[in-house]
C-alpha cells in the first residue's frame, strides 16, 4: 500500500480514537495500540528490508513524523487528564468550614469541687488560710479534745467507722482540724482557717444521708471574738452563695465544742421567706452549725481562755450544693449520673 495513504489512515484513526479517551487507562491502551512494540506506527518501519534506499528514506521520514505527532498529542492529552483528575479530587475533598462542628463533650468542674473553691476563694479574700487534716483521725482530736470525752452522749450522734486500733477512726466531722490547727500554731495567733474535706458516719444512706460526705469547717481565734463577728461572716457567705437578698439568723443549738452554739439559717432563696416545700413552710433553711469556741477546747489546746476567744462553724458541702443547684438526692453526687453535670452547666449559665 502507498505509504502516504497508510500514514493518513493511521493518523485519522488515531485522531478519531483519541476523542473518546476519558482516563489514563484509555490513554495507555491507545498508546500501546499505536506506539507499543507491535503498535501500528512502530510496525510502519519494521519491514523495510525489501525496499529501495529511496523508499527506506521516505518511509523512515513519514513514519518518524507520525510518531512525533502521536507522542505529542498523547502527552498533551495525558496532561489534560491528570489536571482533570486532580481538580476532581480537590473538589471532592474540600472541607466545608461553614458547617457547624460536632459538639465535643468536654466535661465540667465537679459540683462539689467548684462550690468548695468558691468558698475557699471567699475566705482567702478575708485573710483565712485553707488547711487540711487526715481522714483517718485520732479519737483524741475527733472527740476528746473537742470536749467530747469517752462516754459523752453526744458521741452517739456521730457514730463512725473505727479501725482495729481503738484510738483511730474515720473522722466524723472536720472539727478535729480545729484542734490540729490550734496545737500547731500557738505562736501564730490570731488564727483564721477553713478546712474542707471528707467526713464519715455510720449512717444508712438515703436521699439526705450518706456514710461519706463533705464538710467545710471554719475557725477564728483572736481576742474579744463575739457572736456578732460570726454573724457578720456568715452573712457574707450566705449572700455570696445564695444572692444579696438573703437574710441570716441564728437559732440556739448544742455542740459540745461551742458555747453558745447556734444553727445557721438563711432566708429561703426559693420563696423569699414566704414558705415553700424547700424550706418546709418556715421561710428559713439551715445550712450549718456554729458557735463561740468552748473554753474547754481552748484550754485543751493550750490557749488561755481568759485571753483568747474564737468562733467556729461547719457547713455540709453537699447540703449547700443541693440547695444551690436544686439537687434532691445526696447519692447523686456519688453515682456517676451524668445528669448532675447538666444541672450544673445550666445553673452556671443562668
Ligand atoms: N461538727 C459539726 C457537725 O458535724 C458542725 C459544727 C458545728 C462545726 C459547730 C463547728 C461548730 O465548728 O462550731 O455537726
Locate the DSSP E strands across the chain: 129-130, 136-138, 168-170, 191-200, 212-222, 248-255, 258-267, 284-293, 309-316
Give the torsion sign (CA, 14, 17, 18, 24). Answer: negative
Q: What does the pLDDT read at residue 165?
A: 79
Atom 7 in ligand 1: residue holding the nearest Cα: 289
Question: Is residue 255 within 6 Å of ligand 1 at its C-beta?
Answer: yes
* Ligand 1 center to 325 CA (angstroms): 23
Name the helix (H) or strand (E) containing 11: helix 3-19
Decide: 287 in ligand 1 pocket, CB within 6 A. no
> Measuring CA to CA, which residue among 231, 230, 131 is closest to residue 182?
131
The residue whose grid cell reads 468562733 is 311
Neighbouring CB atoms inside 10 A of 285's CB total 20
Q: What is the largest CA-CA distance in the chain?
A: 138
The answer to whether residues 181 and 190 touch, using CB atoms and an 8 Å cutoff, is no
From the CA of 46, how far away is ligand 1's center (Å)?
A: 110
Quick check: 135 and 163 in contact, CB under 8 A?
A: no
The residue whose CB lies within 8 Å of the most ligand 1 atoms, and thus the one to mutate among 173, 194, 196, 262, is: 173
Pick the closest to residue 260 from 291, 298, 289 (CA basis).
291
Residue 202, by phi and psi: left (phi above 0), alpha (psi -120 to 50) or beta?
beta
Q: By three-state DSSP, how is residue 212 classified?
A: strand
Q: Is the pTM of this model over 0.75?
A: no
What does the pLDDT profile of the chain (350 residues) look like in tens digits?
A: 578 888 899 999 999 999 999 999 999 999 999 999 999 999 888 878 888 888 888 888 998 999 999 999 999 999 999 999 999 988 888 777 888 888 887 777 888 999 999 999 999 999 999 999 999 999 999 999 999 999 999 999 999 998 877 789 999 999 999 999 999 999 899 999 999 999 999 989 998 899 999 999 999 999 999 999 999 999 999 999 999 999 999 999 999 999 999 999 999 988 888 999 888 999 999 999 999 999 999 999 999 999 999 999 999 999 999 988 888 889 988 888 877 777 777 777 77
Q: 316 CB less than 6 Å from ligand 1? A: no
Q: Which triple of cell numbers denotes residue 217?
A: 469547717
CB of 289 sitting under 6 A from ligand 1 = yes
Q: How far apart (Å, rounded) are the C-alpha atoms in residues 13 and 285?
A: 98
Residue 284: beta bridge partners? Answer: 267
Strand (E) or helix (H) holding 224: none
How many Cβ atoms are within 10 Å of 349's Cβ, its own excluded? 6
Please give the Cα distance from 237 to 332 (Å, whole number).
25
Q: Report in angstroms the alpha-carbon separations of 221 from 169, 176, 193, 295, 311.
A: 27, 15, 9, 12, 7
Alpha carbon of residue 28 to chain centroid: 58
Cell output for 279: 424550706
**Residue identifier of the C-alpha nearest atom 12 of ligand 1:** 313
Place of cell 474515720: 170
Provide the pLDDT for residue 1. Answer: 56
Nearest CA to ligand 1 atom 10: 313
* Omega before residue 190 within 30° of 0, cis: yes
Whether residue 261 contacts residue 147, with contact meaning beta carbons closer than 8 Å, is answered with no
Amino acid at each position: 500500500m502507498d505509504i502516504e495513504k497508510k500514514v493518513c489512515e493511521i493518523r485519522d484513526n488515531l485522531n478519531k480514537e483519541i476523542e473518546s479517551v476519558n482516563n489514563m487507562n484509555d490513554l495507555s491502551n491507545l498508546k500501546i495500540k499505536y506506539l507499543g512494540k507491535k503498535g501500528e506506527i512502530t510496525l510502519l518501519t519494521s519491514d523495510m528490508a525489501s525496499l529501495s534506499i529511496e523508499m527506506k528514506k521516505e518511509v523512515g521520514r513519514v513514519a518518524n513524523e507520525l510518531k512525533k505527532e502521536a507522542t505529542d498529542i498523547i502527552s498533551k492529552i495525558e496532561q489534560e487528564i491528570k489536571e482533570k483528575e486532580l481538580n476532581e479530587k480537590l473538589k471532592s475533598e474540600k472541607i466545608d468550614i461553614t458547617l457547624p462542628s460536632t459538639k465535643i463533650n468536654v466535661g465540667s468542674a465537679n459540683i462539689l469541687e467548684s462550690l468548695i473553691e468558691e468558698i475557699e476563694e471567699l475566705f482567702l479574700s478575708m485573710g483565712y488560710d485553707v488547711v487540711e487534716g487526715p481522714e483517718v483521725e485520732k479519737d483524741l482530736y475527733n472527740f476528746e479534745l473537742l470536749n467530747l470525752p469517752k462516754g459523752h452522749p453526744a458521741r452517739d450522734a456521730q457514730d463512725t467507722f473505727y479501725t482495729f486500733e481503738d484510738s483511730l477512726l474515720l473522722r466524723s466531722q472536720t472539727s478535729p482540724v480545729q484542734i490540729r490547727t490550734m496545737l500547731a500554731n500557738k505562736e501564730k495567733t490570731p488564727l483564721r482557717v477553713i478546712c474542707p474535706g471528707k467526713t464519715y458516719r455510720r449512717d444508712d444512706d438515703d436521699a439526705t444521708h450518706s456514710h461519706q460526705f463533705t464538710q467545710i469547717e471554719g475557725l477564728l481565734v483572736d481576742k474579744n471574738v463575739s457572736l456578732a463577728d460570726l454573724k457578720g461572716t456568715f452573712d457574707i457567705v450566705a449572700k455570696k452563695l445564695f444572692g444579696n437578698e438573703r437574710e441570716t439568723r441564728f437559732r440556739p443549738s448544742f455542740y459540745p465544742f461551742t458555747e453558745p452554739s447556734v444553727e445557721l439559717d438563711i432566708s429561703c432563696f426559693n420563696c423569699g421567706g414566704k414558705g415553700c416545700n424547700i424550706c418546709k413552710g418556715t421561710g428559713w433553711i439551715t445550712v450549718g452549725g456554729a458557735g463561740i469556741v468552748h473554753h474547754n477546747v481552748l484550754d485543751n489546746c493550750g490557749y488561755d481562755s481568759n485571753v483568747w476567744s474564737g468562733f467556729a462553724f461547719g457547713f455540709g458541702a453537699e447540703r449547700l450544693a443541693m440547695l444551690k443547684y436544686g439537687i434532691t438526692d445526696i447519692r447523686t453526687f456519688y453515682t456517676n449520673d451524668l445528669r448532675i453535670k447538666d444541672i450544673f452547666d445550666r445553673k452556671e449559665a443562668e
